[in-house]
Chains A and B, each alone.
Chain A
Amino acid sequence: MSEVLNPEMLLLIFAAAVATFLTRVGGYVLITRMKTIPPRMEQALNAVPAAVLTTLVAPAFFNGGWDVKIAMSVALLVSLRYPGLIMLAAGWAAAMASRHLLGF
């Protein structure tokens, strides 16, 4: 991990920045051009964030050890009542406890 700039990493970051900017300006460009989005396409687009994020959560849970499973289950239960930051803190505390106290 050096502080020397890696051109490939920089290129990747800038590409991600351009992609992000395109989403931020895209609706403005579209709305001046397009009258309707087909309903099925809209339904599919609405599902994109949950679908992508789930693929980062599910394997982490199923492939993780008991420490990870306990932490994420605790976080899931806490999230039913409390906002994101408290959920995150509860999950973290559960992971710390299961690693350092229970020895998973």
Chain B
Amino acid sequence: MKREDIIDGLKGGAIIAISSAPFAILFGAVAVDNGLSVLDAAIMSATVYAGASQLVGIELFDHHVAPWLIVLSVFAVNFRHILYSAALTRFITHFSPVQKFFAFFLLTDPQFAESVKRGEDGRGVSFEWYLGFGLSIYFPWLFFSTVGAWFGSMMGDPRTLAIDVLLPTYFMGLVLGFRRRSGFYPVVLASTLGSIAAYHFVGSPWHVSIGAAVGVAVAALLPLPASEPEPMAEKAEA
């Protein structure tokens, strides 16, 4: 059973590792292009371990944004993990505190999705499975970021290979991924107008925080959906 769980975890994680490898390579290459060393990129992948926020972080770093704003943006991009850890809690009550520490460190989008699936269909979330799944994503992520950074440092002008286009395109893909959320279009429109206006009248890097603030303010002011919002605790138990 335990052995099976480990193998199951390693297998499931390997699939995710392969599909996220291009993003890890992209991160490494762009990180070096934006002024990080190969070692910096590797340390970032090893300690932050959250692809989209790593890319946001290095993009802002290149814009010479104030450090606290970079950290805040990383926090903002990772904000969804708060909802993940809230919803995951009920499946991992049997973990020891040390196991919980590692579980939360390794909590990524696929890790969350797979854990909930296992928890709900009765297979259960054993620590062996969780760790097997998590580590078979973690180490390839680290490895491929380093490979990407190393290739990035060998490359000349990033424009020749169109590396500079990858990041905004990737972010656009992430934005589009939210398009089924309620309030998506007004929020994106507000952030677009806010960031463009701030870019012209205030200047970079402030367009990021101003544009984001406009979008979030619009979201807060939008009419609430008709259904009564459920309390968080109930949602986690549902």
Contact = CB atoms under 8 A, between A and B. Distances in A.
B83 A54 contact: no
B77 to A, nearest CB: 6
A99 B161 CA distance: 9
A104 B236 CA distance: 52
A30 B169 contact: no
Interface in B193-215: 194-196, 199, 204, 207-215
A2 B212 contact: no
Given A28-B85, A95-B165, A43 B183 contact: yes
B151 interface: no
A53 B174 contact: yes
Nearest to A98: B162
Interface size class of B (residues with CB under 8 A): 35 or more
Contact of B191 (A19, A25, A51, A61): A51
The interface centre, meaning the residue of B54, B74, B87, B88 with most chain A CB atoms within 10 A of its CB, is B74
B16 interface: no
B110 interface: no
A37 B224 CA distance: 14
B131 interface: no
A23 B19 CA distance: 24
Interface size class of A (residues with CB under 8 A): 35 or more
Given A20-B53, A20-B74, A23-B79, A51 B48 contact: no
Interface in A43-70: 43-64, 67-68
Interface string B179-198: 00111100110111011100
Interface of B: 19, 22, 26, 32, 35-40, 43-44, 47-50, 52-54, 56-57, 59, 61, 67, 70-89, 100, 104-105, 107, 153, 159-162, 165-178, 181-184, 187-188, 190-192, 194-196, 199, 204, 207-220, 222, 224, 229, 231-233, 236
Interface of A: 1-6, 8-17, 19-28, 30-32, 34-37, 39-64, 67-68, 71-72, 75-76, 79, 84-85, 87-88, 91-92, 95-96, 99
